[in-house]
């Protein structure tokens, strides 16, 4: 039998591939233990099977080492584990070709050994693991005939890791040893979004795809829809699959009717007749909770805006309801003007002070009114930024066209009417060299930055840019090192409203930074931005080093990343989100912790995209938790491909109002009992936002006494996602239904009188 290519990159001995395209279930595999041996430092003898690691510490894989007692550790470290590889793996295999080690994802680079033999590395083009890519699954293979494999005996897998900043280690993914088989060349593609014709009536397209030119798959496909709360199968179908080969996938569309408003799991399984092997996949079925906005006008978005005296103001009054809408703004301070057709307030206000403006929005069905507070003073970003950032979808492939398309989509999708404001380009806009005068210049993907910015402003949206205090950005583009004041002037000239400033290569200048070293580049840029003739929100990105939340505000930051980079899986999102209680107390108007950008919708870090790997319930948790935390919400997906479910996540005004609460008081972890965590946050109007999160693998009911929440008077309990009062209680909140696995019930409590 010829050696087939599992995926192109697997044919190269040391390549790591993304598992996104690899089937869920292998023919046969053994799980690797979660507990490995661990040592910081670097020594080639640590790859040897005979090396005695008994004195090493034990560490769990699947989490960054920062969460395992190695806070702020960057550099080399080794992981080792023992595993018996049963010969039944190869005997059960149809192809009998190669052994596959799946070592999850590793931050940042790695080199793996089986019984001392190198079996693969992730080191970019340079073969130096300091250049590895943190965001790829590690799948390494070697022929079954390789003598390094000790069948039915003890084997040692050793992994040498290098982390150059932020979170590090074997932080997420699958840990398995298996044998590649015919089913490894087939996958179930469930990437197309669910469509809902009427509530509960869903339609979904799936495909069976092959990458094996030598094999014709034929068999049957089964689809089950299951209620995860009780395991009941609510709908099932099995269809014959005549064949599928590369280039001719088998496509199937199913339609199913399900009671709406709760989560379901779709389970897919294809069985290949000839080999007897199966592939399976599963996904959560999205369900819409956000009610459609009323046809009558409603004013949404932040109700408080800060602007510095004499600096340009750009504030779009966000209103839902049938168009056209006529806008009014009574008592605008001198210098500010409202465009009554677009609802954009602009101008410059010279006199410091706090101004209450009475907004009105009228259509043929009615009128909405609300006050807007404009604070003219030193402080900007009085509530967390709401917007979009290019990184989680486009990575370094961001371009002028993609930024404009995101801005257009922000308007076309209606998200602008819910208060979404910023359109931010991340890394990848800069040219390699400065001009002869030392000015930073955009690369060919951005023909005219000032024109692009003016276009985004013309829609009522603001624009963000990205740089590093080091000579290079994380993507290897030009940073602001020794050109800070000049760059700040350039950004202001282009009309930029937001700067994300990413530590990156500054770390090479200060490999072991003191607290002062950490603060310095941010102080320098803060001083430069203070000279600009416009407000530029200053967003620090240094992954939480030196507990930045304790000094970010005093150093000129409006927000600061508290963690390494997020990815679209539960371990990453929940690992970041649920440890924010440490930084939460530092939240206040103008100063926000940033647990990183949203991973909902089509993401991919560019240029190719996939639907987020978070389940629908995990996405409800993601948005709810980030709102509870008063986090900046930066949508990380392709805005031109927003599906119904993602829009429902991003357009719930009662949920967004928690994030945008003008008091900006910190969230608190009230309790953590078993898998249930309860978080609360006091709102400006005296009500209390409460999130009940189920971190476990099974749906679970919950009951929380009012006294645990510090409340004594009877309370009206409102479900924020469903926008409905669900109970009045004098003693305890009892959840009306089990909270789904990894899901949430997001509530707002107000006194019942």
Catalytic residue positions, numbered = 502, 565
Name the residue nearer to ligand GAL (CB basis): 181 or 427: 427
Name the residue nearer to ligand GAL (CB basis): 102 or 426: 426
- Please tell me whether residue 393 binds ligand GAL under the rule CB under 6 A: no
Look at the block and give the residue holding tokens 């997906």: 637
Residues near ligand GAL (CB under 6 A), total? 10
Name the nearest CA neighbour of 140 among 8, 16, 4. Answer: 16
Name the residue nearer to ligand GAL (CB basis): 504 or 529: 504
Name the residue nearer to ligand GAL (CB basis): 212 or 426: 426
Name the residue nearer to ligand GAL (CB basis): 473 or 587: 473
- Please tell me whether residue 426 binds ligand GAL under the rule CB under 6 A: yes
242: exposed, middle or buried (Cβ count in 10 Å: 0-12, 13-18, 19+): exposed
- Stretch in the footprint of ligand GAL (CB under 6 A) among 232-240, 469-477, 526-534, 654-662: 469-477
- φ/ψ (deg, to 5) at 675: -90, 0
Beta bridge mates, 178: 29, 100
- Please tell me whether residue 388 binds ligand GAL under the rule CB under 6 A: no
Min separation Cβ 259 and ligand GAL, Å? 40
Integer angstrom CA distances of residue 354 from 118, 332, 337, 374: 65, 11, 16, 6
Min separation Cβ 473 and ligand GAL, Å? 6
Name the residue nearer to ligand GAL (CB basis): 475 or 743: 475
Name the residue nearer to ligand GAL (CB basis): 475 or 616: 475
Other CB atoms within 10 A of residue 531 CB:
10
- Stretch in the footprint of ligand GAL (CB under 6 A) among 93-101, 415-423, 467-475, 695-703: 467-475
How far, rounded to the nearest angstrom, does the alpha carbon of residue 98 sit from its chain's CA centroid? 34
| CB within 8 Å of 99: residues ≥ 6 apart | 85, 89, 90, 141, 142, 143, 144, 146, 149, 177, 178, 179, 180
Min separation Cβ 428 and ligand GAL, Å? 7
Q: Which residues of 507-525 are buried (b: 16+ CB within 10 A; e: fewer)?
A: beeeeebeeebbbbbbebb
Integer angstrom CA distances of residue 148 from 32, 83, 157: 18, 13, 11
Min separation Cβ 53 and ligand GAL, Å? 32
Other CB atoms within 10 A of residue 185 CB:
24
- Please tell me whether residue 475 binds ligand GAL under the rule CB under 6 A: yes
Min separation Cβ 747 and ligand GAL, Å? 32
For residue 689, the number of C-alpha atoms closer than 13 Å in the C-beta half-sphere is 30
Torsion of CA 572, 577, 580, 586, to 10 degrees: 120
Min separation Cβ 490 and ligand GAL, Å? 19
Min separation Cβ 468 and ligand GAL, Å? 8
Name the residue nearer to ligand GAL (CB basis): 177 or 425: 425
Min separation Cβ 543 and ligand GAL, Å? 7
- Please tell me whether residue 171 binds ligand GAL under the rule CB under 6 A: no
Min separation Cβ 470 and ligand GAL, Å? 11
- Please tell me whether residue 541 binds ligand GAL under the rule CB under 6 A: yes
- Please tell me whether residue 391 binds ligand GAL under the rule CB under 6 A: yes
- Please tell me whether residue 624 binds ligand GAL under the rule CB under 6 A: no
Query: Considering only residues 110, 427, 484, 719, which one is a binding residue for ligand GAL as defined by CB under 6 A?
Result: 427
Angle among Cα 5, 7, 9 to the nearest 5 degrees reads 95
Helix axes 484-494, 449-458, angle to 10 degrees: 50
Question: In the numeric block, which tokens belong to residue 550?
Answer: 């304790």
The two beta strands, 250-257 and 201-210, are antiparallel
- Stretch in the footprint of ligand GAL (CB under 6 A) among 93-101, 193-201, 224-232, 468-476: 468-476
Look at the block and give the residue holding tokens 């990205």: 466
User: What DSSP string runs through 328-363?
Assistant: EEETPPTTEEE-TTT-EEEEE--S-EEEEEEEEEEE
Name the residue nearer to ligand GAL (CB basis): 133 or 342: 133
Min separation Cβ 257 and ligand GAL, Å? 42
Name the residue nearer to ligand GAL (CB basis): 327 or 466: 466
Min separation Cβ 650 and ligand GAL, Å? 19
Query: Considering only residues 565, 594, 661, 719, which one is a binding residue for ligand GAL as defined by CB under 6 A?
Result: 565
Min separation Cβ 477 and ligand GAL, Å? 8
Q: Give just the sign of the alpha carbon dihedral 718, 724, 728, 732.
A: negative
- Stretch in the footprint of ligand GAL (CB under 6 A) among 8-16, 167-175, 472-480, 707-715: 472-480
- Please tell me whether residue 474 binds ligand GAL under the rule CB under 6 A: yes
Query: Considering only residues 97, 102, 167, 502, which one is a binding residue for ligand GAL as defined by CB under 6 A?
Result: 502
Q: CA 207, CA 196: separation in Å to the nearest integer?
A: 19
Q: Which residues of 722-739 are buried (b: 16+ CB within 10 A; e: fewer)?
A: beeebbebeeebebeebb
Q: Which residues of 381-407 are buried (b: 16+ CB within 10 A; e: fewer)?
A: bbbbbbbbbbbbbbbbebbbebbebbb
Cis check for the bond before 699: say yes or no (omega within 30 of 0). no
Name the residue nearer to ligand GAL (CB basis): 226 or 426: 426
- Please tell me whether residue 167 binds ligand GAL under the rule CB under 6 A: no
Q: Are 571 and 63 in contact (CB under 8 A)?
A: yes
- Stretch in the footprint of ligand GAL (CB under 6 A) among 198-206, 322-330, 470-478, 548-556: 470-478
- Please tell me whether residue 163 binds ligand GAL under the rule CB under 6 A: no
Look at the block and give the residue holding tokens 């179930």: 188
- Please tell me whether residue 617 binds ligand GAL under the rule CB under 6 A: no
3-state secondary structure 11-48: HCCCCCCCHHHCCCCCCCEEECCCEEEEEECCCHHHHC
Cis check for the bond before 158: say yes or no (omega within 30 of 0). no
- Please tell me whether residue 568 binds ligand GAL under the rule CB under 6 A: no
Sheet holding 75-84, edge to edge: 57-60, 35-40, 75-84, 154-163, 109-114, 117-122
Question: DSSP class of residue 746?
Answer: E
Query: Considering only residues 381, 453, 473, 569, which one is a binding residue for ligand GAL as defined by CB under 6 A?
Result: 473
Name the residue nearer to ligand GAL (CB basis): 605 or 693: 605
- Stretch in the footprint of ligand GAL (CB under 6 A) among 83-91, 151-159, 473-481, 678-686: 473-481
Query: Which positions touch ligand GAL (CB under 6 A)?
Result: 391, 426-427, 473-475, 502, 504, 541, 565
């Amino acid at each position: 039998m010829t050696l087939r290519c599992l995926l192109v990159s697997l044919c190269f001995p040391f390549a790591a591939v993304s598992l996104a395209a690899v089937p869920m279930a292998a023919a046969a595999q053994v799980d690797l233990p979660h507990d490995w041996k661990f040592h910081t430092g670097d020594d080639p003898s640590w790859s040897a099977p005979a090396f005695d690691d008994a004195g090493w510490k034990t560490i769990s894989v699947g989490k960054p080492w920062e969460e395992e007692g190695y806070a702020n550790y960057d550099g080399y470290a080794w992981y080792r584990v023992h595993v018996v590889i049963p010969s039944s793996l190869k005997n059960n295999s149809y192809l009998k070709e190669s052994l596959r080690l799946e070592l999850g994802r590793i931050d940042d680079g790695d080199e793996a050994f089986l019984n001392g033999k190198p079996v693969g590395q992730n080191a970019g083009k340079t073969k130096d693991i300091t250049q590895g890519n943190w965001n790829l699954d590690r799948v390494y293979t070697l022929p079954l005939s390789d003598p390094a494999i000790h069948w039915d005996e003890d084997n040692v897998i050793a992994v040498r890791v290098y982390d150059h900043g932020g979170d590090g280690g074997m932080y997420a993914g699958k840990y398995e040893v298996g044998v590649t088989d015919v089913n490894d060349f087939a996958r179930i593609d469930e990437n197309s979004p669910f469509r809902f014709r009427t509530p509960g009536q869903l339609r979904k397209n799936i495909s069976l795809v092959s990458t094996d030119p030598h094999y014709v798959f034929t068999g049957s496909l089964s689809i089950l829809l299951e209620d995860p709360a009780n395991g009941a199968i609510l709908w099932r179908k099995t269809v014959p699959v005549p064949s599928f080969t590369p280039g001719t996938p088998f496509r199937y569309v199913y339609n199913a009717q399900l009671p709406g408003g709760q989560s379901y799991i779709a389970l897919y399984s294809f069985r290949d007749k000839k080999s007897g092997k199966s592939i399976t996949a599963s996904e959560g079925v999205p369900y819409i909770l956000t009610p459609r906005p009323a046809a009558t006008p409603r004013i949404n978005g932040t109700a408080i805006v800060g602007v510095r005296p004499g600096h340009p103001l750009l504030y779009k009054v966000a209103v839902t309801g049938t168009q056209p809408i006529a806008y009014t703004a009574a008592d605008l301070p001198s210098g500010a003007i409202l465009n009554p057709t677009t609802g954009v307030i602009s101008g410059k206000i010279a006199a410091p002070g706090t101004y209450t403006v009475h907004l009105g929005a009228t259509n043929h069905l009615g009128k909405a009114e609300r006050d807007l507070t404009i604070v003219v003073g030193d402080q900007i970003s009085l509530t967390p930024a709401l917007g979009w950032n290019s990184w989680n979808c486009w990575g370094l492939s961001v371009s002028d066209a993609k930024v404009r398309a995101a801005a257009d989509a922000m308007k076309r999708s209606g998200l602008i009417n819910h208060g979404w404001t910023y359109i931010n380009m991340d890394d990848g806009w800069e040219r390699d060299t400065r001009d002869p005068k030392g000015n930073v210049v955009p690369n060919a993907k951005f023909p005219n930055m000032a024109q692009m910015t003016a276009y985004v402003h013309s829609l009522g949206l603001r624009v963000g840019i990205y740089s590093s205090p080091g000579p290079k950005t994380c993507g290897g583009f030009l940073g602001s090192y020794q050109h800070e004041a000049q760059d700040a002037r350039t950004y202001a000239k282009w009309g930029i409203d937001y700067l994300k400033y990413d530590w990156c290569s500054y770390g090479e200048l200060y490999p072991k930074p003191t607290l002062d070293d950490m603060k310095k580049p941010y102080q320098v840029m803060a001083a430069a931005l203070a000279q600009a003739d416009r407000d530029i929100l200053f967003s620090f990105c240094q992954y939480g080093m030196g507990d930045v939340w304790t000094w970010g505000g005093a150093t000129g930051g409006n927000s600061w990343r508290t963690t390494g980079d997020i990815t679209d899986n539960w371990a990453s999102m929940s690992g970041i989100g649920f440890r924010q209680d440490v930084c939460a107390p530092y939240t206040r108007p103008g100063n926000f912790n940033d647990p990183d950008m949203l991973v909902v919708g089509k993401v991919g870090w560019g240029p190719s995209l996939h639907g987020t790997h978070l389940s629908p319930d995990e996405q409800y948790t993601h948005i709810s938790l980030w709102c509870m935390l008063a986090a900046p919400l930066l949508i990380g997906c392709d805005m031109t491909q927003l599906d119904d479910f993602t829009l429902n996540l991003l357009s719930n005004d009662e949920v967004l109002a928690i994030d945008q609460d003008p008091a900006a008081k910190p969230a608190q972890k009230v309790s953590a009992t078993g898998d249930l965590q309860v978080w609360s946050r006091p709102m400006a109007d005296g009500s209390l936002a409460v999130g009940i999160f189920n971190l476990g693998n099974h749906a679970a009911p919950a009951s929380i006494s009012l006294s645990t929440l510090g409340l004594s008077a009877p309370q009206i309990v409102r479900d924020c996602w469903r926008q409905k009062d669900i109970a009045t209680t004098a003693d305890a909140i009892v959840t009306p239904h089990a909270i789904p696995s990894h899901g949430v019930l997001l509530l707002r409590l107000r006194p019942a009188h």
